[in-house]
Amino acid sequence: MTTDTDVKTDKVEKHGFQAEVSRLLHMMVHSVYSEREIFLRELISNASDACDKLRYEALTTPDLLKEDPELQVSLTLDEKAGTLTLSDNGIGMSHDELISHLGTIARSGTSAFMEQMAQKSDGKDKKDAGSMIGQFGVGFYSVFMVSENIEVTSRRAGADESWTWHSDGIGEYTLAPAAKATRGTDIVIHIKDDAKEFLDEHRLRNIIKTYSDHIALPITLVMDKDGEQKSERVNEGKALWTRPKSEITEDQYKEFYHHVGHAMDDPWMTLHYKAEGVLEYTVLMYVPSQPPMDLFDPARKSRSKLYVKRVFITDDCEDLIPGYLRFMRGIVDSQDLPLNISREMLQNNPVLAKIQSAVTKKILSELEKKAKKDPEAYATFWKSFGPVLKEGIYEDFSRRDQLMKLARFETTADKGLSSFDDYIARMKEGQETIYYITGDNINVAKRSPQLEGFRAKGIEVLYLTDAVDDFWLQMVPEYDGKKFQSVTKGVADLEDKKGDDKKDDEKKENTPEIDALIGVLKTNLEGVVKDVRLSNRLTDSAVCLVADDGDMDIHLQRILQQHQQLQETSLRVLEINADHALIKAVAAAAAKDGSVNALKDSAQLLLDQARIMEGELPEDPTAFAQRLSAVMTQSLK
């Protein structure tokens, strides 16, 4: 395939890169990457995707393929000019698409990506920075590692106009009308002096064979030989998933993962099988070893691709795999769906629903096998994708039991990640409840005063520190007959639990001083707390807040408040530790004075202390500071 791209220079538009793109290009140009050849893999993958998209659109608009039905990718080498031109006759790009695709990073998480990229580029381990290119879906920009400037000329299939995008990767790019006669995209790469290796025929051939041999399109290398232009197909071009597993090497599986997932990490798990029977389809799916950048995108889109009889249909199919498996990368190729199926027809399609059910079951079964066979490797997987997989516990009733068995958590036992079955096996004699605590992160949860009594009794508590935990717990009241119970809710039933220290087993009873203090606190905090009571869960702290039985748990209420999804909030219960020196002192003062107003500041300070221990600010920080100053001044007289 040759280019036909004469640029019209009478109407040139100048555009500035989106700020994040400008920073990214600067990092790529000024950093040292260990594998610069990945730029070619990324460009070929993009060209292959463009051809796949055209093939799909041509199912409903056949005229798009009429003039040039043989889809292909070509690489033209011009050593004299110092250029490498990659061309495809795929879907092409319009004026606005060139701006959208090449001038912006139009995906969520851009700022976080740029910060990580900057850290890698400035740190010692610079080779990892290059591996992030594929992980974050910015493969096109990798071409600036080897190019002084780039010209992208494209004509969208079915359109009458074509445009040339040009940039040196410094701060801006231009767009100008072009005279490209055929559809598709031509990328002219002006190779840098320190990257002349990419003008070598044998080097290019090796890169294509290594990274793109599996692409099911002909990739031809065009060059001058003996004064004549000759072309030669380089790749094998057979869809990898159609080949028997015995004929596929581990490296070939990896390279297909890099292609289909636009990723640079190696897959953590590969799943390749063919289903035959009532439905016939082939699956080649991967679990990444690194979380994709868009893992927590609110859209929760799957990036796996649907093919029908080896024809690409879409990579945006909500019904291919459930949202809680959106980290999977790969393809499903169906033999039973019609080739002319539209994206609208895919919604609620019974054939696709059966495929999704079977593929999901297979993925979860393979994860279960991995968890049993290699717990350490599974723990690594869980730390990356556990929060997403737990979404299924909340929304997928039919597979809830299977997902619950896959779940892993840290606990107060400090035994690494544990399953629910592990926890139950370690439960104390007579314990019939699975105790847990929710929090913003593990460190906050570990410092929670509500855990003190459970630690003293040697009762293990699960740390549930992902936001989704608060929600699936509302749907799952028990596991294996054992009820779930939050340690920050209700009265802690610890009196009937035997601890290692007999002193801990002694039942706490109210004294006249404590009764007086509780009365004073209730009066001063009326309308602010729901109740004040003696605690049997505190051993070291003076006070804590808990949710009453039947009320919403503390952490869930806080999450809903932050997202403005809660109109009314429940008042909390203030618990006091009768054995704490501070409580004894205030109780003595309450019994001696009997004045409610005299302990007004002390009551409010105890409540603010409990709030601070929950990670919250006092409702009135200024008043808190004034009360604290007054109490300190009085105590130092």
SS3 string of 549-594? CCCCCHHHHHHHHHCCCCCCCCCCEEEECCCCHHHHHHHHHHHHHC
Does the pLDDT at position 5 exceed 60? no
Is 42 annotated in a binding site? The answer is yes
Please report which confidence band the pLDDT of residue 18 belongs to, taking 50, 70 and 90 as the band edges. low
Half-sphere exposure of 20 (CA within 13 A, CB side): 17
Please report which confidence band the pLDDT of residue 498 belongs to, taking 50, 70 and 90 as the band edges. low
Least confident span in 58-62, 354-358, 462-466, 589-593: 589-593
Percent of the chain surpassing pLDDT 90:
52
Report d(CA 601, CA 597) in Å as an integer.
Answer: 8
Report the b/e string of 369-407 with b at 16+ CB within 10 A.
Answer: ebbeeeeeebeebbebbbbbbbbbbbbbeebbebbbbbb
Judged by DSSP in three states, 490 sits in coil
Instruction: Show the tokens assigned to 339.
Output: 């080739």
The class that CATH gives domain 409-636 is alpha beta
Q: Chain-wide mean pLDDT for the chain?
A: 85
Top mean-pLDDT range of 264-278, 307-321, 583-597: 264-278
Report d(CA 521, CA 560) in Å as an integer.
Answer: 28
Percent of the chain surpassing pLDDT 70:
86
pLDDT confidence of residue 344: 72
pLDDT confidence of residue 608: 94
Least confident span in 83-87, 256-260, 538-542, 571-575: 256-260
- Segment 126-154 mean pLDDT: 67
- Segment 320-340 mean pLDDT: 90
pLDDT confidence of residue 495: 66
Is 108 annotated in a binding site? The answer is yes
Question: What CATH code is assigned to 13-233?
Answer: 3.30.565.10
Q: Domain spans of the chain?
A: 13-233, 240-381, 409-636
Please report which confidence band the pLDDT of residue 108 belongs to, taking 50, 70 and 90 as the band edges. very low
pLDDT confidence of residue 397: 94
Residues 6+ apart with CB under 8 A from 350: none
Judged by DSSP in three states, 489 sits in strand
Please report which confidence band the pLDDT of residue 140 belongs to, taking 50, 70 and 90 as the band edges. confident
Does the pLDDT at position 63 exceed 60? yes
Report d(CA 502, CA 464) in Å as an integer.
Answer: 30
Does the pLDDT at position 466 exceed 60? yes
Closest CA to 451 of 503, 491, 412, 416: 412
pLDDT confidence of residue 524: 92
Indicate the CATH number of 240-381 among 2.60.130.10, 3.10.450.50, 3.30.230.80, 3.40.50.300.
3.30.230.80
Does the pLDDT at position 310 exceed 60? yes
pLDDT in tens, 189-210: 999 999 999 999 999 998 998 8
Would strands 482-486 and 433-438 be described as parallel, antiparallel, or unpaired?
parallel
At 527, which amino acid appears?
G
Does the pLDDT at position 31 exceed 60? no
Is 137 annotated in a binding site? The answer is yes
Are 240-381 and 409-636 the same fold in CATH? no
Instruction: Show the tokens assigned to 179.
Output: 């005279």
Instruction: Show the tokens assigned to 604.
Output: 């409010």
pLDDT confidence of residue 348: 80
pLDDT confidence of residue 211: 81
pLDDT confidence of residue 125: 46
Is 135 annotated in a binding site? The answer is yes
pLDDT confidence of residue 172: 81
Is 46 annotated in a binding site? The answer is yes
Report d(CA 356, CA 453) in Å as an integer.
Answer: 46
Is 256 annotated in a binding site? The answer is no
pLDDT in tens, 422-456: 999 999 988 999 999 999 889 989 999 999 999 99
List C-alpha distances in Å: 160 to 178, 179, 365: 11, 10, 51
Report d(CA 129, CA 317) in Å as an integer.
Answer: 31
Q: Does the predicted model carry a pTM greater than 0.75?
A: no
Contact 289, 282 (CB under 8 A): no
Contact 73, 208 (CB under 8 A): no
Instruction: Show the tokens assigned to 65.
Output: 């393929």
Please report which confidence band the pLDDT of residue 111 belongs to, taking 50, 70 and 90 as the band edges. very low
List C-alpha distances in Å: 628 to 216, 578, 614, 622: 73, 22, 19, 10
Is 136 annotated in a binding site? The answer is yes
